[in-house]
Structure formats: structure tokens, C-alpha cells
Amino acid sequence: MSIGLLGKKVGMTQIFNNIGEAIPVTILQLGPCMITEIKNIPSHGYKAIQIGYSEIHKNHLSKPQLGHLNKVNAPPFKYLKEYRIQSTNDFQIGQIITVNQLKIGNLINVSGYSIGRGFSGYQKRHHFSRGPMSHGSKNHRQPGSIGAGTTPGRVFPGKKMAGRMGHKKTTIKNLQVIDINSDKHIVIIKGSIPGKPGNLISIT
């Protein structure tokens, strides 16, 4: 069965294979997650499971959130997320999903929010080339022309200009599982994933 897990990014390091090649890897701490709701076609119109991750104090949740979790005797979770599934037969409410469902060599998709860069300029955000740096030039990091004159008399939407950069949901697909530590809920995958260490990530 295909599973989904929530976790956090621990950081990056490198490991060496049998012939001495360095492999860049990312360490993830995934789960344990608890199934808090199962959605089916008669009730909701689609099949999905909802999982909870990262217990917090109940005072940090609203009464509707607590009521939803208390209905299935679940602890107060900070994060809830749905995963579409093909069949609900293999799942039941209260079931704990851990990294034990993964195997070394599996390919997973990892989603997270990329690092936010704030309000960035043209060179950093869109890789524009800069102007001449010689004396007298007043166009070092300026955008240049942004549109025509009387016709059309406006700037077209989507024009590449300065603005907010980063902090967008990004998914990296088909990352290979290199190693698994079930006791500490640690998974080591090949390659890099979006976000800073400590960021919430989701895998499928």
C-alpha cells in the first residue's frame, strides 16, 4: 500500500558507498502519525485518510479542532493532513503509521515549503544581468524598460519584476530511501529537499 507521512527535516550530510563515492543525503524524522479520520465515497465523495502529527498542549487548539480529535480519542495534534488512497480496507481509525512501512530502496515524493527570501530584486529573483558598473552608468541593478509606450499603455500581467521570493510549496519526486532507523523514526534519503532544518515536510 502507498502511505503518507508527516515529519520534519533534520538536515543534510554525506555518506560514502562501497567504492568511496560521496552521496549527498538528507535526514528526515518522520512520524509516528495516527489516523484520525477515514473518508469514503458514500460520505465524502472520495477516498482518503487523515493523519495527525506532533502532539501539543490542548490549549493551543480551538474547540472544534479538539472536538474533532476527541471524537476518535486522539491526542491533540498540531498538524493534520489528508492523503488520497485507492482503498480504505488496509486502514482503521487510531492506527499508527511509522517508518516501518517504508523499505530501503523505495522512491518517495517529498513536499515542503522552500526557504523564504523576502522581497528580492530582479537579479536575485529572475537572474537578470546587471548593467555596466563603469563610472557614469546609473543602471547597475535597475530593471530597464518594462513595456511599450502609448500602445498598449500598460504593463502586462506576469511581468518579471522584483517581489516576494521563495516560501512556496515545492515537491521533489522519486527520492531514494538510503537507510531507515525505526527506533528514532529517522529516514535517510538521497538528494536535497526544500526548506530549512526543522521545517514540516510531507512524504508520499
- The pLDDT, as a whole number, for residue 101 is 86
- The pLDDT, as a whole number, for residue 31 is 81
- pLDDT 10s digits, 140-161: 998 888 888 899 999 999 999 9
Calculated CA dihedral for residues 117, 120, 123, 126, nearest 10 degrees: 70
Instruction: From residue 17, give the alpha-carbon distance in Å to each of 27, 178, 191.
Output: 17, 11, 14
Q: For 66-91, what is the mean pLDDT?
A: 90
H or E segment to which residue 20 belongs: none
Please report the domains of the chain, with CATH numbers, ordered by start residue. Answer: 5-118+169-203 (3.30.160.810), 119-165 (no CATH)
Give the predicted TM-score (pTM) of the model.
0.82
